[in-house]
Structure 1
Amino acid sequence: MTTQDTTPSPSPPARAGGRWIERWDPEDHAFWAERGERIARRNLVWSVLSEHIGFSVWSLWSVMVLFMGPEYGVDPAGKFFLVALPTLVGAVLRVPYTFAVARFGGRNWTVVSALLLLLPTTAAAVVMEPGTSYTTFLVVAALTGAGGGNFASSMTNINSFYPLRKKGWALGLNAGGGNIGVPVIQLVGLLVIGTAGAAQPRLVPALYLPLIVVAATLAALRMDNLAPVRNDTGAALEAVRDRHTWIMAFLYIGTFGSFIGYSFAFGLVLQTQFGRTPLQAASLTFVGPLLGSLIRPVGGRLADRFGGARITLWNFGGMAVATLVVVYASAERSLPVFLTGFIALFVLSGLGNGSTYKMIPGIFQAQALARGMTGETAAAYGRRLSGAAMGLIGAVGALGGLGINLAFRQSFQTAGSGTGAFLAFLACYALCAGVTWAVYLRRAPVRSAVAGPAGGAAPADGTAPAGPPEGERARAYAEV
């Protein structure tokens, strides 16, 4: 929910917090080549590290529940709710975290948001023992939602650093590097269970305490604040009123909601439905989130080249097929087939995360051109609206993770199996595919000799927009 003013300031005012950049214009090719790319890349590296730790803390309880044997007195339904609660809190926090970037500066807020992770991590290390009340576990699990908020501020910050033509790769890399925090903490859990045993859960959060301090310190030393990035309430309200914000939020529920929901629930499903021990579950849990995280930048890169809507459509089709495989495996109680289908869901959700997030700036850029704007005016409008929409889309998308864990909780509570939940997910993916096709791909693609190999979708009303040259319009539609 930010806007970016590219007008240079003749006499930059003094600012608190240090490391402020007063002029930033990534769409200017000369500026980008001379110094912009180097600065953006440096900020991206340390943003990834901080967001990575944030995702690890956010998914901490997906590991903690694996340590909770019968002596803890928590049934499977209670465990699913424990891993669902951080998703809800993280989704809610994404909105104020998005505003915080412009209010305090991207670098400054990265430092603060990283240090805030010390609270839930320390609390988990203190309370994780038999005899602790379930209410206490719920409160501490809710605190880890702070790690989910980090995603919104990080993505909003990096979105401001990169030009439209490179946002797919940059945002995919930033988010993918953060997403890898999920399998990494699950690997840490596996290491602790395999070496110290299932009776030593406190070691997992304890290992992250020094890493949080390191991430905050490096962000303070190496990142920058962008002075032109400012909160824009008008853009936020305009984004809320724009139907594409809500359409993309729905599609992001299908991709990111699936990724984070499955990441939190995978180990519990293996324990509950297939009777895996904590060690056996932990040895498998990390594989899917790892592959899904690694492939997210690929989804952004493919969207840069072929158009985000095309990749997203095929992706939802693949997720529907993978879900059918999982439903079959659940009915046959075949663990190898189940793992194959579930890991395919992780990979495809990661791919879709990259392609859907790439669609956002392209949609608003295309809208600007359809309204007759050209050049930097259109680019500024696209940045303004996409920045405003990203925080809301990320928040709503994260709620998909809550829905997945609540669906599993209900399915296991009523039927003793996750099959009912997977059938609901199948219907969701079919609906997401239909919406993607109907809104962004149904019309004949706009093509031009200078549009490149991507092609793209025409405006929803089928009419040719007035104003910008045909080649510029075609390039913009190719971003969607």
Structure 2
Amino acid sequence: MTDEAAADGRAGTGGRTRRGGRWIERWDPEDAGFWAASGERVARRNLVFSVLSEHIGFSVWSLWSVMVLFMGPDYGIDPAGKFFLVAVPTLVGSVLRVPYTFAVALFGGRNWTVVSALLLLVPTLATAWVMTPGTSYPTFLVVAALAGVGGGNFASSMTNINAFYPLRKKGWALGLNAGGGNVGVPVVQLVGLLVIGTAGAAQPRLVPLVYAPLIVVVAVLAARFMDNLGPVTHDTGAARDAAREPHTWVMSLLYVGTFGSFIGYSFAFGLVLQSQFGRTPLQAASLTFAGPLLGSLLRPVGGRLADRFGGARITLGNFVAMAAATGVVIRASAAGSLPVFLAGFTALFVLTGIGNGSTYKMIPGIFQAQAVRRGLAGEAAVAYGRRLSGAAMGLIGAVGALGGLGINLAFRQSFGATGSGTPAFVSFLACYAVCSAVTWAVYLRPGGHGARAGRAAARETPARVRAEV
């Protein structure tokens, strides 16, 4: 069996070829020869179409952050009600990330990408149907909840791409995959700005209708060009094993601080500008996209920095900087200074992007080091790390996304009680302080558990199993 045959899905195990799809039965990205001959090309192709699918998923997930900007007085919904509308898809998307992680093992990465893309048609068309004054608030809540399916795409996409790449390239690959997906947030906000600026605030249905044909195109491309990896299927027990690992929950907390902040701020930013600074829908839409765009584009940079300097070091520095930027936002919020507020908020978006990349780089390194601590070496250590890190990513992504729910609920409470977002930002500052302390104590403190694991991994063959956490 040649590497080329294995990489294009024609080869089977024991002379058997899977039927009904594009299946790859042998996949060993840690083998330098395999990677150079065919693996890198196949991995890159799957990454490209994974990014496209995840991008559309994020756009649909964040659709209601745009829809609420169209809801003027004739909709009869106050700011607290709008913040709750934005929070609902965040909650649903977070919960769905767990079964979406299982779906890759059950059905194959390519197959599930096609199915999950087509599922996006349901919330898209439903939103176009109900977006009119006079629709009841419970109806809006149900349709907003449907948009949560877009949030699930992230977990299955990241789990799938994690299996395609060798450890030494995971930071960049996962950062690029997630960053390309995250760009869906500012893009849908730009679409909303374009609609408001051209057709007016009375035409919200045009926004979801733009996405319906794009969803079909992405599903067709995924079916045509992506692959399923046989070695990672039918291993749903990996998620159970990952859930038993304390590091899964430590990293979940850190991801609440980075990704939870990114998605929560992305969904709420326009409403904050409207509620606290009196911006019109057009003014708010024109300011909301820049921060999420920068955060999305810098996620691969965070992964690359983590590849070079270690994920824990970058993550700790990032949380300290996020605390400082939050201090600027608190001061600007209390003083009513929009320019300083925008500067501080933009810095927060940039830092959430970098932190998203660095935290996700830590995950495969942690489980690779865990394998070494358990006495595994070589291929056994690589297989253990890949299995557990892929499963953990879904759980970590689910918990991390709940941070976005917390942010929107905090804003809802803050504006409802004081008419300002300042109390909410104070609570976010405390969260970043906790995340900084946990990162240092677990992964950087001399003699800490993470530091010991990293040293144990470094004593193994560097080219194969070295793990920097």
- The residue number in structure 1 matching 2:404 is 401
Aligned residue-pair number: 459
Seen in structure 2, the aligned counterparts of structure 1 residues 41 and 234 have a Cα distance that, compared at 3 Å, is: same
- The residue number in structure 2 matching 1:160 is 163
Structure 2 residue 452 is matched with structure 1 residue 459: yes
Shift of 1:233: 3.8
Seen in structure 2, the aligned counterparts of structure 1 residues 161 and 223 have a Cα distance that, compared at 3 Å, is: same
**What is the SS of the residue equivalent to 1:479?**
coil
1:6-45 pair list within 5 angstroms: 9-16=13-20, 18-45=21-48
- The residue number in structure 2 matching 1:70 is 73
Aligned equivalents of 2:414 and 2:465: distance in 1? 44
Aligned equivalents of 1:94 and 1:126: distance in 2? 26
Shift of 1:479: 1.8
- The residue number in structure 2 matching 1:203 is 206
Q: Is the 8 A contact 1:306 1:478 kept in 2?
A: no
- The residue number in structure 1 matching 2:5 is none
- The residue number in structure 1 matching 2:429 is 426
Aligned equivalents of 1:14 and 1:457: distance in 2? 40
Which of 133, 137, 140 is 1:137 aligned to? 140
CA deviations 1:187-240 (Å, max 9, x no partner) are 000000000000000000011111101111111111111111123243222211
- The residue number in structure 2 matching 1:479 is 468
**What is the SS of the residue equivalent to 2:30?**
coil
Seen in structure 2, the aligned counterparts of structure 1 residues 469 and 73 have a Cα distance that, compared at 3 Å, is: closer
Structure 2 residue 463 is matched with structure 1 residue 470: no
Shift of 1:428: 0.2
- Quote the sequence identity (%): 79
**What is the SS of the residue equivalent to 2:452?**
coil
**What is the SS of the residue equivalent to 1:231?**
coil
Q: TM-score of the superposition, structure 2-length normalised?
A: 0.95
- Cα root mean square deviation, aligned: 1.8
Seen in structure 2, the aligned counterparts of structure 1 residues 10 and 478 have a Cα distance that, compared at 3 Å, is: closer
Structure 2 residue 345 is matched with structure 1 residue 342: yes
Q: Report the residue type matching 1:313 in the other structure.
A: L
Q: Is the 8 A contact 1:64 1:201 kept in 2?
A: yes
Q: Is the 8 A contact 1:50 1:110 kept in 2?
A: yes
Q: Runs of 5+ in structure 2 lacking a partner?
A: 1-10
**What is the SS of the residue equivalent to 1:436?**
helix
Aligned equivalents of 2:45 and 2:108: distance in 1? 16
**What is the SS of the residue equivalent to 1:360?**
helix
- The residue number in structure 1 matching 2:7 is none
Aligned equivalents of 1:397 and 1:457: distance in 2? 20
Which of 170, 173, 177 is 1:174 aligned to? 177
- The residue number in structure 2 matching 1:291 is 294
- The residue number in structure 1 matching 2:363 is 360
- The residue number in structure 1 matching 2:154 is 151
Which of 237, 248, 252 is 1:249 aligned to? 252
Shift of 1:14: 3.2
Q: Report the residue type matching 2:136 in the other structure.
A: S
Q: Is the 8 A contact 2:105 2:236 kept in 1?
A: no
Shift of 1:75: 0.3
- The residue number in structure 2 matching 1:383 is 386
Shift of 1:320: 0.1
Greater alpha carbon shift after TM alignment, 224-233 vs 46-55: 224-233
Greater alpha carbon shift after TM alignment, 135-144 vs 221-230: 221-230
**What is the SS of the residue equivalent to 1:228?**
helix
Structure 2 residue 236 is matched with structure 1 residue 223: no
Seen in structure 2, the aligned counterparts of structure 1 residues 174 and 159 have a Cα distance that, compared at 3 Å, is: same
Q: TM-score of the superposition, structure 1-length normalised?
A: 0.93
Shift of 1:12: 2.3
Structure 2 residue 296 is matched with structure 1 residue 307: no
CA deviations 1:223-261 (Å, max 9, x no partner) are 111111123243222211111000000000000000000
Shift of 1:269: 0.1
Shift of 1:470: 2.1
Structure 2 residue 129 is matched with structure 1 residue 126: yes
Seen in structure 2, the aligned counterparts of structure 1 residues 84 and 11 have a Cα distance that, compared at 3 Å, is: same
Q: Report the residue type matching 2:162 in the other structure.
A: N
Q: Runs of 5+ in structure 1 lacking a partner?
A: 1-6, 446-455
Q: Report the residue type matching 2:459 in the other structure.
A: E
Aligned equivalents of 1:469 and 1:441: distance in 2? 15
